[in-house]
Structure 1
Amino acid sequence: ILMASIGSNPFTGFWFLFRGGLMNIERVGNTLATATTLMLVGLSVAFAFKTGLFNIGASGQMLIGGLCATLVAHKVFLPRPLYLIVLILAALLGGALWGVIPGFLKAKFNVHEVVATIMMNWIAYWSIYYFIPAYLKGPSLETESASIAVTQSLRTPWLTKLFNGSYMNLGFFIAIISVIVIKLILDKTTLGFSLKAVGSNRHCAEYAGIKVNRNVVISMMIAGGLAGLAGLSFYTGYSRNMQIGVMPAQGFDGIAVALLGASSPLGVLFSSLFFGILQSGKGFMNAMTSVPPEIADTIIAVIIYFTATSVLFKRFWDAVLKRQGDKAKKKEESAQAEVKKEGE
C-alpha cells in the first residue's frame, strides 16, 4: 500500500528488495551477518518479554559488550581458540553487567525497567566518548577506534571465502547456539519455568514460593548478556571498529524482531532473517526502482504498531463476539419462554 501510494509497483519493489538480499552468495552472507546482530538483540528483548520485563536498554548493552570485546581484541593476544573464548566471555559479561543494574533497581526499589534501561543506554553512549579517544583511538580519527585486525576479529578466512568476501563471521554461529540455549532454558529447565511464571503473574508466582526479585535480576542479566553478544558480533565481526556518537539502531530494531517472532526463540530466528533481508536489500531496491530505502524502516514501524495494538484488536473482537453471543442467548431464552407460554 505504501509503495503504491507513491506511484511505484509494490510487486516490483518487493522483488528487488528480496533479490537485493539474496541474489548471490555475497549478498546472502551480508544478509546473514546483518541478521546475526538482530537475532541476538531480538532474543534479548524476547527473553525479557517472556519474564514480564521490557528491556529497552539493548543498545547500551550492545555498546558495553562491544566495548569490552574491542578492548580484548586490541589488548589480548592468545592462541585463536582460547582467544575466542575470552572475547565471547568479555562481551557476555559486559552486557550482563549492564543488564544486572536495572534488574537490581527493579527488584530492590521497584524502579521501572524502561526508565532504568533508557538511562543506562545514555551512560553507555557517553562512556564510549571517553574510552575510544583515551584507549582505542584510530591512527587518523579520534571519533572512531582503530580497526581490529582480521585475525583478532570474528571473521575467518574460510567463511569470507565461502561467502565471496561478505561480512559473514562466526557471530552467526554464536547467535544460533544462543537461540538453542535460550529455548532449552525456557522449555526444559526449572529456571525457565520460574521466569515464565514470574512473567505471567508476579503475585501468583510469589504466592507459590518462587523468588520473584531474584528471577527479575537473573532475567535482566541474561537479556543483557545476549545484547552484549550482539555488540560482539557487530563491532568485532561486522564493522571491526567502534564510533563515538552513534547509538546502535539494532537495539531498537530488536524490539520489532521480538514482537514479530512472538517472543519465542525460533520466532526470533526467522523474523531476524526477514529483517536482515529488509536491511540488506533496501539499497538495491532503491537503485532499481523509485521506492526510497526508508520503506524498509517504515515496514519495521508498521510491524511494531500492529503487533503492539494486536491486543486491542483481540479485545475488540472478543467483545463483539461476546455481545453477539449474549444476543443469541436472549433470543433463544425468549423463544423458549414463548413456547412454554403457548403450551400452558
Structure 2
Amino acid sequence: MSGTTPGAGDGARNEPNEQLPHASGPLTGHEVPAAPRTNVFIKELLRGSAVTTALAIVLALIAGGVLIAITNEDVQAASGYFFARPVDTLIAIWDAVVNGYAALFRGSVFNVNADDFLTQIRPFTNTLGFAAPLIAAGLGVALAFRAGLFNIGARGQMLVAAGFAALVTFNVDLPMALHLPLTLAAGIVGGALWGGIVGLLKARTGAHEVILTIMLNYIAYYLLVWMIRTPGLLQKEGTNQPISEATPESAQFPQLLGPQFPLLDWGFVIVVLATAITWWVIERSSLGLRMRAVGENPHAARAAGISVDRIYVYAMLFAGGLAGLAAMNQIQGSVTTGFSGSIDAGIGFDAITVALLGRSRPWGVFAAGILFGALKAGSFGMQAQGIPVDIVLVVQALIVLFIAAPPLLRTVFFLPKSDAEKAAKARAKAAKKAVAA
C-alpha cells in the first residue's frame, strides 16, 4: 500500500542505483577483475630470492652496525652522560658505524684516499683474490646440495688435494707450461678421490654423508700433518717444523694484472671457467638433470630408472675436485712459501655458508664468494679502525641466518607472505577454531 511506512530495507531499495554497491562474483555473472600485472610483478619480486638475499645482507649490516657502536670506545664514553647530552652519543654512534663501513669499503672495493688509480683499485683485486678459493669450494658444496648430499667435507678434500699435489709434483723439474697444469690437475684429482670415497661409501653402505665427511676431515688433517712432519715426504729440508717445501716457481699461478696486484692471479680466471662449467653440468647436461632429480626425490628418480648410487659417486667426485681447485688457489697462488695443516684457512667451512647464500646456484655462489671475499679483504681496514675482526664473522653468520628464515625477513620488512605461509596460517587458524568449538 502507498500509505505504509517504509522500513529500513525499503529505504535502502529506494536509494538511487549509483549509491548501491555493485554485486560481483561467479553467481552474479560479474567476475572480479584480475589484479593489475604491475601489482603481481611487484608482489612476486618482493617474494623472490634476490630481494630476500639483499634484505638479509642489509639486516645483517644493520646488526653489525649495532655491534660496532657497542664496542666503540667513544660511544661507550659518550653514553656515560647520555641523559645530560644525548646528541653526543648519537654523533659518536654515527661516526663509529660510518667510519667502520667506510673502512670496509676502502679495504674491499675502492680506496678513495690513495694517491693513484692503481692503488685505489687494489682493494677490489684483493677481494677477487680472497674470493677465488671460496667460490671454488662453494661450488663443490653447492653441487652436492643439488644432488641431495650435505657435503661438509670440503676442508678434508682441500687438505688431501694440497698434500697429493705437493707429493706428486713439487719434486718434479718441468717447464711452467707443463708443471703448472700438472700440479693443478694433481690437486683436483686428489680432492676428487677424497670426495669420491664419501660417495662410494654412501652408495654401498647407506652411511650418512655428514658423518662420513666429518670423520674424513679429521683423517685428512692428521694425515697431512704426519706427511709434513716426516722427512722425505713433505717436510721442508733443513727444518724440524711441520711445513712443506715452497711451491716451485714453475707451478705458481702468474699474476693476472702485474706486481701492483699481488693477490690476483690466473687462479681467479680458472675459477670463473669452473663456475661456467659447473653451471653447464648442473643446468644443461643430462648428468645434471639426473643429479637434480636425485636431489629432489631419490625414490622417484630410482623409479624412473636413474642409478641413484652412481649419481652419489659422481656428485662427490665433482664436489671433491672443486674443493681441490680451491686448495690449488691456495698453494699455487696465495701461500707459495710452504704450507701447514691449516692451509685450508677455514675456507672449507666458509664454503658451506657461500653455497647457502648462493642458493646452491653456480652464479649465485660466484656472487656470494665475491661478497665474502670483500668482507675478508675489508676486515683488515676495519681492524685498523680499532674494530674487532670478529664483527665481520658475525655479519657473515647473520646473513646466512636471515636467509634461512624468510618469514622473519618478511615480518621485519613487511613483505607479502608466500602462498605456503598463507596456507599454513589458514590451517593454524582453522585448527584453533576447531579446538575452541
* Paired position in structure 2 for 1:338: none
> Is the 8 Å Cα contact of residues 31 and 277 (structure 1) preserved in structure 2?
yes
1:3 deviates by: 2.7
Seen in structure 2, the aligned counterparts of structure 1 residues 311 and 255 have a Cα distance that, compared at 3 Å, is: farther
Structure-1-length-normalised TM-score: 0.87
Distance 1:328 1:255 in 2: 37
Alignment of 1:264-283 (within 5 A): 264-283=361-380
* Paired position in structure 1 for 2:314: 218
1:324 deviates by: 6.3
Aligned equivalent of 1:237, options 333, 338, 345: 333
Aligned equivalent of 1:150, options 226, 239, 249: 249
Distance 1:55 1:126 in 2: 20
* Paired position in structure 2 for 1:76: 172
* Paired position in structure 2 for 1:13: 100
Alignment of 1:10-159 (within 5 A): 10-22=97-109, 23=111, 24-134=120-230, 135-138=233-236, 139-140=238-239, 142-154=241-253, 156=254, 159=257
SS of residue paired to 1:108: helix
1:64 deviates by: 0.9
Any unmatched runs of 5+ in structure 2? 1-62, 76-92, 112-119, 411-416, 431-437
Aligned equivalent of 2:422, options 316, 321, 325: 321
> Is the 8 Å Cα contact of residues 138 and 365 (structure 2) preserved in structure 1?
yes
> Is the 8 Å Cα contact of residues 141 and 319 (structure 2) preserved in structure 1?
yes
Distance 2:123 2:293 in 1: 42
1:32 deviates by: 1.2
Greater relative contact order (Cα < 8 A, sep 6+)? 1
What fraction of aligned residue pairs are identical, expressed as a percent? 36
* Paired position in structure 2 for 1:4: 66
| Greater gyration radius | 2
Distance 1:317 1:193 in 2: 27
* Paired position in structure 2 for 1:334: none
SS of residue paired to 1:284: helix
Distance 2:313 2:372 in 1: 30
Aligned residues: 324
Deviations 1:33-75 (A, max 9, x none): 1100000011011101111111100000011111122234421
Structure-2-length-normalised TM-score: 0.69
Given residue 107 of structure 1, which amino acid in structure 2 is its aligned partner? A
> Is the 8 Å Cα contact of residues 17 and 284 (structure 1) preserved in structure 2?
yes
> Is the 8 Å Cα contact of residues 125 and 246 (structure 1) preserved in structure 2?
no
Seen in structure 2, the aligned counterparts of structure 1 residues 44 and 31 have a Cα distance that, compared at 3 Å, is: same
Q: Looking at secondary structure, tell me which structure has more helix per residue.
A: 1
Seen in structure 2, the aligned counterparts of structure 1 residues 71 and 170 have a Cα distance that, compared at 3 Å, is: farther
Any unmatched runs of 5+ in structure 1? 330-344
Distance 1:96 1:150 in 2: 25
1:312 deviates by: 8.9
> Is the 8 Å Cα contact of residues 33 and 169 (structure 1) preserved in structure 2?
yes
Distance 1:172 1:86 in 2: 18
Q: Indicate the RMSD between aligned Cα atoms, in angstroms.
A: 2.5
SS of residue paired to 1:75: coil
1:133 deviates by: 2.2
Distance 1:142 1:285 in 2: 33
